[in-house]
Amino acid sequence: MATLVSQGQIFLSCYALMLVVLGALLFLILYQIVKMLLLLKYRNQESTANIPPGSTGLPFVGETLQFMAAINSHKGFYDFVRIRRLRYGNCFRTNIFGETHVFVSSTESAKAILNNDSGKFTKRYIKSIAELVGHQSLLCASHQHHKLIRGRLSNLFSMTSLSLFIKQFDQLIVDNLSSWEHKATVVVLDEALKITCKAMCKMLMNIESGYKLEILQKEVARVCEALLAFPLRIPGTRFYKGLQARKRIMSIIEEEISDRRRGLGTNQHEDFLGSLLAGDDKACYEAGPNRQKLLDSEIQDNILTMIIAGQDTTASAVTWMVKYLDDNQEVLHTLRDEQLQLARKSPEKTFLTLEDLNDMPYASKVVKESLRMASIVPWFPRLALHDCEIERFKIKKGWNVNIDARAVHLNPTMYNDPKKFNPSRFGDAESRPYSFLAFGMGGRTCLGINMAKAMMLVFLHRLVTTYRWKVIDQDSSIEKWAMFSRLKSGCPVIVKRVVYDDDGY
């Protein structure tokens, strides 16, 4: 009996012990769960307090897939931004390619970031762009390095070189336009790309015909198509093809540099490359042994950068301008009147001059309005170098902050009826500061601003004084994979030569 009792006691004690252990385990698990939940709640409260609203998407990929889907759609990659701005407001955040991106669209933010007086920001492009234009391009260079390269390049964009460029460009346009009337249809974008690529290659390296120009035209297009591609170095991918194209362009530029060094080919100062090589050596000599010399690879990256920066942007802008004018016949009428008057002033003159371009007030407004409406470079990317505050939101060091120029250009508080093509809105009064951002602002303003405006004015003058045209495809879809907003249709037109009466009209 005693044995039975002690066995029962032992069983009960073991049972109680098991219960205690299980209870303790349960308590520990529950404690950990509650602790984790509290921690998560606290973290979320801390990390979302005062930071811009938005979604960081899925773990690891963020919203990269949605971004890539927008690039691959005919609404254009800006649609990714447009949708989120509507959902979250004028300042929002997202995650693309594993990094946080904030988009801002007030003129105050644009001013603070683009002026960058406090050195809180630097420019930064997504990986694919940096790899394709080259890490030594002034688009990607660090703040100090950018200063050095920009200093050298801006010497090239003098008024003297602009005057020479206008004459060369006019000649190119006259030659190109003369063939339009013999074609059933002219695709404006295709012609504009040919013309602007030729103009850039001539200006930069004195290449204006032959196999080198053909290769450059083809390969630059491939690089441009890859600028927004997913940076996968796998043969067959868009990005890989872009990298191969870059290699072929680099070898042409390298060959040009080596020819110049051996005294072959073009006179040293006839083009940008010549001036850069000559000027570079002189600047280094004058600055003494501490002056850092531009390496050949730096020159190569920056020649490619200028071809891309100057060709695609201007060709896209010209194409939009033709479409806007076709859609707005009364504007075209006023413009044609101005341009015919100018043409009648000196009919014997062969080519346009800088003075002629300064005498085109209405055409200049047409150019400006086209650039506002098209917003060829829709946003400008920067990197926050320190924690800071924008639009009352916290921005953390290492985040990308993008200035949404298109939103500024279409803001109804800046521009009355912003979707209407109305060149006269740019009256004599100064427009509101930082409301026109087609060429950027501050230390990173477009280096080719005067050249781009000149190209658009020359093109306008020759087109409206030579032809009447009709756009035969009204589709406004955007070309897929294009870094700069481009019409998918390319804007096909049929043209008819303008016939002048005895008064020159």
One residue of 126, 129, 133, 139 binding ligand HEM per CB under 6 A:
139
Report the alpha-carbon distance of residue 463 to residue 170 in Å, rounded.
Answer: 11
Taking contact as CB under 6 A, which single stretch among the options 7-15, 96-104, 209-217, 435-443 is the one that binds ligand HEM?
435-443
- Cα separation, 16 vs 10, whole angstroms: 10
Paired with 123 in beta bridges are: 382
448 in contact with ligand HEM (CB under 6 A): yes
Residues 114-133 vs ligand HEM: string with x where CB under 6 A?
---------x----------
Residue 272 contacts residue 156 (beta carbons within 8 Å): yes
Cβ atoms within 10 Å, residue 290: 6
CB of 172 to ligand HEM, least distance (A): 14
Q: CA 483: distance to chain centroid? A: 6
Q: How far is the CB of 349 from ligand HEM (least distance, A)?
A: 24
Options 213, 220, 447, 478; binder of ligand HEM; rule CB under 6 A: 447
Given a contact cutoff of 8 angstroms between Cβ atoms, the answer to whether 265 and 275 are in contact is no
According to DSSP, the residues that pair with 262 across neighbouring strands are none
DSSP letters for 407-425:
HHHT-TTTSSSTTS--GGG
Indicate which single residue of 384, 446, 460, 495 sits in contact with ligand HEM (rule: CB under 6 A).
446
**x/- site string to ligand HEM, residues 169 to 208, per CB under 6 A?**
----------------------------------------
Name the minimum Å distance from CB 436 to ligand HEM.
11
Per-residue x/- track, 359-378, ligand HEM (CB under 6 A): ------------x----xx-
Residue nearer to ligand HEM on the CB measure, 322 or 340 = 322
Beta partners for residue 493, in sequence order:
186, 471
Work out whether 444 is an interface residue with ligand HEM (CB under 6 A).
yes
Which window, 81-89, 325-333, 389-397, 443-451, contacts ligand HEM (CB under 6 A)?
A: 443-451
**Between 66 and 313, whose beta carbon lies closer to ligand HEM?**
313
DSSP 270-288: SSHHHHHHHHHHHHHHHH-
We find the least distance from the C-beta atom of residue 183 to ligand HEM, in angstroms, to be 25
Length of the chain: 505
Q: Is 239 or 380 the residue whose CB approaches ligand HEM more closely?
A: 380
By DSSP bridging, strand 400-404 and strand 99-104 are parallel
DSSP letters for 175-212: HHHHTGGGSS-EEHHHHHHHHHHHHHHHHHH---SHHH
Residue 446 marked ligand-binding: yes
The least distance separating ligand HEM from the CB of residue 297, rounded to whole angstroms, comes to: 17
Which secondary-structure segment (H or E) carries 445?
A: none
| Number of helices followed by number of strands (H, E) in the chain | 17, 10
CB of 133 to ligand HEM, least distance (A): 10
- State which residue, 336 or 444, has the beta carbon closest to ligand HEM: 444
Residue span 73-112 as binding mask against ligand HEM, x where in contact by CB under 6 A, dash where not: ----------------------------------------
Nearer to ligand HEM, 84 or 409 (CB): 409
Q: Which of 89, 68, 65, 64 is nearest to 77 (CA)?
A: 68
Name, in order, each residue with C-beta under 8 angstroms of 462's C-beta and a sequence gap of 6 or more: 170, 173, 174, 177
CB 386 within 8 A of CB 113: no
Subset of residues 239 to 268 that bind ligand HEM, contact rule: CB under 6 A: none
> Please, what is the minimum distance in Å from the beta carbon of residue 229 to ligand HEM?
20
How many residues belong to the site for ligand HEM (CB under 6 A)? Answer: 24
Q: Which residues contact 60 (CB under 8 A, 6 or more apart)?
A: 98
CB 52 within 8 A of CB 102: yes
Does position 384 interact with ligand HEM (CB under 6 A)? The reply is no
- Residues in 286-345 that interact with ligand HEM by CB under 6 A: 305-306, 309-310, 313-314, 317
Taking the least distance from each CB to ligand HEM, the nearer of 121 and 481 is: 121
- Classify residue 273 as exposed, middle or buried by CB count within 10 Å of its CB (0-12, 13-18, 19+): buried
Q: What string marks each residue from 144 to 173 as x (binds ligand HEM by CB under 6 A) or -? A: ------x-----------------------
Report the C-alpha gap between 476 and 171 in whole angstroms.
31
User: Helix, strand, coil proportions of the chain in percent (round to 5)?
Assistant: 55, 10, 35
Contact status: 438 vs ligand HEM (CB under 6 A): yes
CA–CA dist 463, 8 (Å, integer): 108
Q: Is 220 in the site for ligand HEM (CB under 6 A)?
A: no
Q: Is 452 in the site for ligand HEM (CB under 6 A)?
A: yes
Q: Using CA atoms, how far apart are residues 333 and 97, in angstroms rounded to an integer?
A: 48
Q: How far is the CB of 236 from ligand HEM (least distance, A)?
A: 31
Of the candidate spans 98-106, 392-400, 424-432, 436-444, the one that interacts with ligand HEM by CB under 6 A turns out to be 436-444
Contact assessment for residue 366 and residue 463, using Cβ atoms and an 8 Å cutoff: no
Residues at the binding site for heme are 446
Residues at the binding site are 446
* Residues forming the site for ligand HEM (CB under 6 A): 123, 138-139, 150, 305-306, 309-310, 313-314, 317, 371, 376-377, 380, 438-440, 444, 446-448, 451-452
